[in-house]
Structure 1
Amino acid sequence: MTHKLVLDLIAQARRQEAQQGLFSQAMAARLAEVQLVADITHADPVSCLVRFVEDYVELAPQLLECIQTSAAKIGRAALFSPFLDAAYGAFSRPSILLARFDGLDALLVKAYLCHRLMEEMHENNRSIRNANLVNSGAAHANILAHHLIGEPFANELDNATLITVHQLMSSPAYYDLNLAKFAEEIRDAAGEVMRHRLETLLTRNQIVFRFSYPGSLS
């Protein structure tokens, strides 16, 4: 799975959406639920959600490429390979559960699995997490994607992610593994650009996440 292939998939989904408009209809149906967690400052909130999803999908392979390059530079390619294979597999080897999804709807689910897996990888190692490689913007983007997918299916995807992470981290030693060099490598010029794009994913699309909303843990 390459970045170009994902862009081709997005272009194909856009053409399909222009003809059918089914994803925009789905986003319109989700709008009331989305507004429980975020404010959309644009006059056309549905178009903002569609653009957010397109950006969210496009960033997934870019994030994986950044992680893959950084891991290789510090000689840790083998360590991160299982995570990357699982994340790429969300696009290239989708579960049969996704058979009923199509177009941007399917790409959103695949990208969500990819982003959530990387989020768990980040959170389950002390040195990576303490490096603060990403701020709350990335987590908020995943929460918004969760709402756009809708429950209970989004919860099933979260559970599948946790199971995958548990299988990949067969040893609890992963949490205490010193990966500070990896964190430093991520902070190179390309990494900083990627972090900025991920952290501003919502604001670029005129979506403002609420820090407190019904059902939140805060």
Structure 2
Amino acid sequence: MSDHYQLIQDCIDRAVAAEQARGRFRRSLHDTLPNLHRSIHLPQRDAPLHITCFVIRYIQAIPTWLKRLDQMCDAGGLNFHPVRELILHSFSEIPERQPHEHGLGSILDEAYLAHRTMEEINDMLQPLCGTPLLPMDPMVANLVVRELLGETLACQLDDLAEVLLQRFEPAELDPARLVSMILHKQRYDDAPGEWPDFAQHMQIELRTPTLTRHMDLSH
């Protein structure tokens, strides 16, 4: 792993270790979970533990996913540098900003920004490639994290992701570069376990009122 992504990995490792030692994020969820949107369905047994494990998995995927997106963009002749540098900068500020509070809660906004940016780049490049560049579907996971962060902060991070996207947006892709990027992508399609749907794995679902009523009537 390059120095860029090792710094992010080290930051994540510290946050997970802090949670394992103190359990601060998990305890905070006892106050947060009752306020989540009613469409988010959690396992009834120890929901705070499920959400904590989900958040850890969500955060831990970032260095690998970002690095692979970086590599594929490089294969396609796309400049991923602005995206990488801003996300790297956001992670590198954490210990200085909250030296005694470093944990899952302090890193969750950086994680959301990284995942939302990857989601947007994936959506942008899919029409050019004919397939998602990264084999991931983070929509439900991002919506759950959005609820944990709160609407105000989540909207600010969405705006920042949009700024990143504008800096990244390619004018066009050279056909030969496009083929190179797609061939590079195929390496990841053979390892589906590395691209989990975190929410589904943790039995976290979105249920619309219509679906809920339909399910109730079927009993």
TM-score, normalised to structure 1's length?
A: 0.75
**Cα RMSD for the two superposed structures:** 3.3
Render the CA deviation track for 1:99-136: whole Å, top value 9, x for unaligned: 69731112211111111111121222353574134577
AA at the equivalent of 1:185 = H
Cα offset, 1:33, TM superposition:
3.7
In structure 1, the residue matched to 2:162 is 162
Cα offset, 1:29, TM superposition:
2.2
Cα offset, 1:4, TM superposition:
4.8
Decide whether aligned partners of structure 1 residues 70 and 137 sit closer, same or farther in structure 2, where only a CA change above 3 A counts. closer
- Judge conservation of contact 2:41–2:206 (CA < 8 Å) in 1: yes
The 1-side partners of 2:8 and 2:167 are apart by 27
Asked if 1:198 corresponds to 2:195, the answer is yes
In structure 2, the residue matched to 1:70 is 72
Q: 1:51 aligns with which of 47, 50, 53?
A: 53
The 1-side partners of 2:22 and 2:130 are apart by 45
Cα offset, 1:146, TM superposition:
0.8
Mark the structure with the bigger radius of gyration: 2
Q: Equivalent residue of 1:119, what SS?
A: helix
- Counterparts of residues 100-115 of structure 1 (less than 5 Å): 102-115=102-115
Decide whether aligned partners of structure 1 residues 33 and 91 sit closer, same or farther in structure 2, where only a CA change above 3 A counts. same
In structure 1, the residue matched to 2:84 is 84
The 1-side partners of 2:156 and 2:209 are apart by 22
Count of equivalent residues: 204
- Judge conservation of contact 1:52–1:202 (CA < 8 Å) in 2: yes
Q: Equivalent residue of 1:41, what SS?
A: coil
Q: Equivalent residue of 1:187, what SS?
A: helix
Q: 1:31 aligns with which of 27, 30, 33?
A: 33
Cα offset, 1:145, TM superposition:
1.1
The 2-side partners of 1:46 and 1:53 are apart by 11
Decide whether aligned partners of structure 1 residues 34 and 90 sit closer, same or farther in structure 2, where only a CA change above 3 A counts. same
Cα offset, 1:63, TM superposition:
0.3
Structure 2: gaps (5+ residues)? 211-219
Decide whether aligned partners of structure 1 residues 69 and 135 sit closer, same or farther in structure 2, where only a CA change above 3 A counts. closer
The 2-side partners of 1:51 and 1:41 are apart by 13
The 2-side partners of 1:129 and 1:140 are apart by 23
**Identity over aligned pairs, percent:** 21
The 1-side partners of 2:58 and 2:149 are apart by 13
TM-score, normalised to structure 2's length?
A: 0.75
Structure 1: gaps (5+ residues)? none
Decide whether aligned partners of structure 1 residues 44 and 7 sit closer, same or farther in structure 2, where only a CA change above 3 A counts. farther
In structure 1, the residue matched to 2:119 is 119
The 1-side partners of 2:55 and 2:183 are apart by 29
The 2-side partners of 1:167 and 1:150 are apart by 26
Cα offset, 1:30, TM superposition:
2.3
